[in-house]
């Protein structure tokens, strides 16, 4: 029976509810103008803006007795209010760090109460066929326990930039996002994140972020206050009929450029990790601390060559969320992604909502209130 295990773990798994304001416009006419009609633009001012409160439910788990909780980023993204329920008690919470590239968020309950944290396991030792238990808040019902096995490892479905999902047949439904996937000894092995389903309900294909990837994010938050990922400076494509990741383009003045990478090189080993795909290469590089001297083995023609690379910092790991847009500092990777010349200083808009007409994605803000800005800290001052 999993009864003893469930009884021990339930106090560590929490229910999360969030609210946010959604703005829409209401047409005052009993008809719609056809797309492209000049009348639509003429009568646009007659549309009535409306606001409504939207709520969502998710799960999380306690990792520190002071009330620090891990969940999925999509559970708390754009939330104005966050409530965390532990047993019969509810606490307000605030976001203290997010990693949208891996869909992880760290929040903290606003209380001096003490809580029971989960124990971390080692996801690298999790094997296909191992028993696992999922605990979360499906459909807002409250703490719910399901069991199953690990069905597969190293799954990628294109949901986030960095993926290495554990697949499980333990039932995971809507509201389970951010909940805990635990081994038979009650140790955390993953964060329940997504399901593959044609109906929206569990059909036995659940996906969890491995705890070892979560551990790296937590360490970065504690040590640096932000995510620190290694950046090589290449565009990678899958190599036809060859194991590895092919270099399609080398970013000028990047770590790869300095180390001697060329277009057409195929990466087959990063450090001690043998890689056979773009995703594996990207993961191995991103999990390495910036500034690390990393040996990367490439295949160039018929030769295997080892290039020693001192990795850059991906994206400067800094971003600022303000109403309607997300700003990011201009690192070499961000410049490459948005095509910003090296001579330009400022902050690039990396995300823009449909309601934000002026600051579209890719726009670079160089000055605020007459003061030139090039970092998130400078923007916060202004």
The answer to whether residue 151 is catalytic is no
The answer to whether residue 103 is catalytic is yes
The count of other CB atoms within 10 Å of the CB of residue 283 is 21
Count of H-run helices and E-run strands, the chain = 8, 27
- Of 245, 227, 259, 242, nearest to 329 by C-alpha is 227
Residue 56's alpha-carbon distances to 10, 94, 177, 184, 197, in angstroms, are 21, 16, 11, 30, 20
- Of 59, 74, 151, 265, which one is the catalytic site residue? 74
- Of 71, 113, 66, nearest to 89 by C-alpha is 113
- Of 12, 56, 103, 123, which one is the catalytic site residue? 103
Question: How many angstroms separate the CA atoms of 26 and 201, rounded?
Answer: 32
- Of 56, 171, 177, 332, which one is the catalytic site residue? 177
- Give just the sign of the alpha carbon dihedral 363, 248, 281, 181: positive
List 187's β-bridge partners, or say none.
Answer: 119
Question: How many angstroms separate the CA atoms of 176 and 126, rounded?
Answer: 21
The answer to whether residue 74 is catalytic is yes
List 325's β-bridge partners, or say none.
Answer: 322, 352
Catalytic positions, written as ranges = 74, 103, 177
């Amino acid at each position: 029976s999993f009864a003893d295990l469930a009884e021990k773990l339930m106090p560590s798994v929490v229910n999360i509810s969030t609210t946010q304001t959604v703005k829409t416009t209401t047409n005052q006419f009993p008809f719609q103008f056809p797309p492209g009609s000049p009348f639509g633009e003429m009568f646009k001012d007659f549309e009535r803006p409306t606001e409504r409160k939207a709520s969502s439910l998710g799960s999380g788990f306690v990792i520190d007795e002071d009330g620090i909780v891990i969940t999925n980023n999509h559970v708390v993204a754009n939330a104005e209010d966050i409530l965390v329920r532990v047993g019969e008690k509810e606490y307000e919470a605030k976001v203290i760090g997010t990693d949208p590239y891996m869909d992880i968020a760290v929040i903290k309950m606003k209380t001096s109460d003490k809580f029971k944290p989960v124990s971390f396991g080692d996801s690298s030792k999790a094997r296909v066929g191992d028993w696992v238990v999922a605990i979360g808040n499906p459909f807002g019902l409250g703490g719910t326990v399901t069991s199953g096995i690990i069905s597969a490892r190293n799954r990628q479905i294109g949901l986030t930039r960095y993926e290495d999902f554990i697949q499980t047949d333990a039932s995971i439904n809507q509201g389970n996002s951010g909940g805990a996937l635990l081994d038979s000894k009650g140790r955390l092995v993953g964060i329940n994140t997504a399901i593959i389903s044609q109906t929206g309900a569990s059909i036995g294909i659940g996906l969890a972020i491995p705890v070892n990837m979560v551990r790296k994010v937590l360490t970065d938050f504690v040590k640096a206050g932000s995510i620190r990922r290694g950046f090589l400076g290449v565009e990678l494509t899958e190599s036809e009929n060859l194991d590895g990741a092919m270099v399609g383009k080398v970013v000028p003045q990047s770590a790869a450029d300095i180390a001697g990478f060329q277009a057409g090189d195929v990466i087959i080993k990063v450090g001690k990790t043998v890689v056979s795909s773009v995703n594996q290469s990207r993961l191995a590089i991103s999990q390495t601390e910036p500034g690390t001297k990393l040996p990367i083995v490439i295949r160039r023609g018929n030769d295997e060559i080892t290039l020693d690379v001192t990795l850059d910092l991906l994206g400067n790991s800094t971003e600022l969320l303000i109403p309607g847009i997300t700003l990011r500092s201009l690192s070499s990777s961000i410049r490459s992604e948005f095509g910003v010349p090296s001579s330009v200083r400022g902050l690039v808009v990396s995300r823009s909502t449909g309601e934000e007409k002026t600051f579209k994605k890719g726009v670079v803000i160089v000055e605020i209130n007459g003061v030139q800005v090039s970092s998130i800290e400078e923007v916060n001052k202004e």
